[in-house]
Amino acid sequence: MKKITKILLATLSVILLIGAGGFGFIYSNLNKMYVKDEAVNAQEKEDDTVQGTEVEGITNILLVGTDGANVEKSNRSDSVMLVTIDNKNKDIKISSIARDTYVDIPGYSTEKLTHAYAYGGIDLLKEVFEVNFNIKVDKYIAVNFVSFMDIMDELGGVEVNVEEKDVKEVNKYIDACYDYYYDRKDEVEKQYITEAGKQRLNGYQALAFSRIRYTDSAYARDNRHREVAESVYREFLNSGSKEYKRAAEIIIENTKTNISPMEMINLGFTALKINDKDIEQFQFPLAEYRNGHIISKKKGWVIEWDKEPNLNAWHSFIYGEDAE
């Protein structure tokens, strides 16, 4: 799979790129979204609990997109990805984890992955990764979906391919995204998609395209997310300092992270030096080792997965020859 993952990659791209841009304005503003207490707690926790697999030279960053207008734990994680920066092999990898993956949530029960963030925020979600996937999460970035629309507009939109079967459905979501979340109604008139094919979508249209659920499968929805993210990534690579600064301002207002400003700047330089335009990606769980079905009336549709083949493949993808 060649398409890079999801809307949240846009956030990571901006943060890493502005992080590599210098000090002054960047440092002081990155510090506004840095959650120092959670960073300290995470460090202290490492000494008294069993963590997942850890390999020198590899940094795993958990990207979380909430389905509300803020990044607090009361909202579910509509998108969950893992970005792996492999400084040893000069590689960047993206893992996309299905939101309906059936997992053990410590202190609660076996439920969909998306519920963990709503129950206990980022700390519980990181614990879910350790308990279920044996993966050590070093850092995290959480962002709300509403800010995504503003970022797309700042970039001048993104190019995607709208299939014929999705035209009617995307227009339904345009109503919801524009009417309830879009804050530029005085400047931008609502416009619907009138035909299929490759085209440039603005912020609320791109978000609507990403949220299509019912024309096919959850996995096809993930593919649309990745298509948007790939376009976002290309747009950022071709943008200038003005776009970076404005995107940074939007992200700072809608993001929380345990990555300190200096760490962000260092990660930004690392990512730029790697300059990986053909980013590898992994979809978890694997299609051949998963079973999506309605498990009960209360818990609804979930994805059950075979542990050994899925984790062996995923660890190999992340850690390479060092995978256990």
pLDDT digits (tens, 9 = 90+) for 14-65: 555 444 444 444 555 666 666 765 544 544 454 444 456 667 888 898 888 7
Decide if 229 contacts 9 (C-beta within 8 A): yes
Q: Rg of the chain's alpha carbons, rounded to an integer?
A: 19
* Cis bond before residue 285 (omega within 30° of 0): yes
Name the pLDDT band for 102 (thresholds 50, 70, 90): very high
Helix, coil or strand: residue 248: helix
- Model pTM score: 0.72
Domains annotated on the chain, with CATH: 8-145+255-322 (3.30.420.590)
pLDDT tens for each residue of 274-304 = 665 667 888 899 999 999 888 887 888 899 9
Decide if 86 contacts 322 (C-beta within 8 A): no
Mean of pLDDT values over 245-267: 76
Decide if 77 contacts 125 (C-beta within 8 A): yes
CA angle 87, 88, 94 (to 5 degrees): 55
Position 255 scores a pLDDT of 78
**Under the phi-then-psi rule, with left for phi > 0, alpha for psi from -120 to 50, and beta for the rest, what region is 52?**
beta
CA distance 197 to 199: 6
Position 269 scores a pLDDT of 67
| Selected residue with higher pLDDT from 159 and 269 | 159
| Selected residue with higher pLDDT from 29 and 8 | 29
Q: b/e string for 220-255 if b means 16 or more Cβ within 10 A? A: ebbbbbbbbbbbbbbbbeebeeebbebbbebbbebb
Position 150 scores a pLDDT of 84
Mean of pLDDT values over 108-124: 91
Pairing of strands 58-66, 139-144: parallel
* DSSP H helices in 146-217: 146-154, 167-176, 203-210
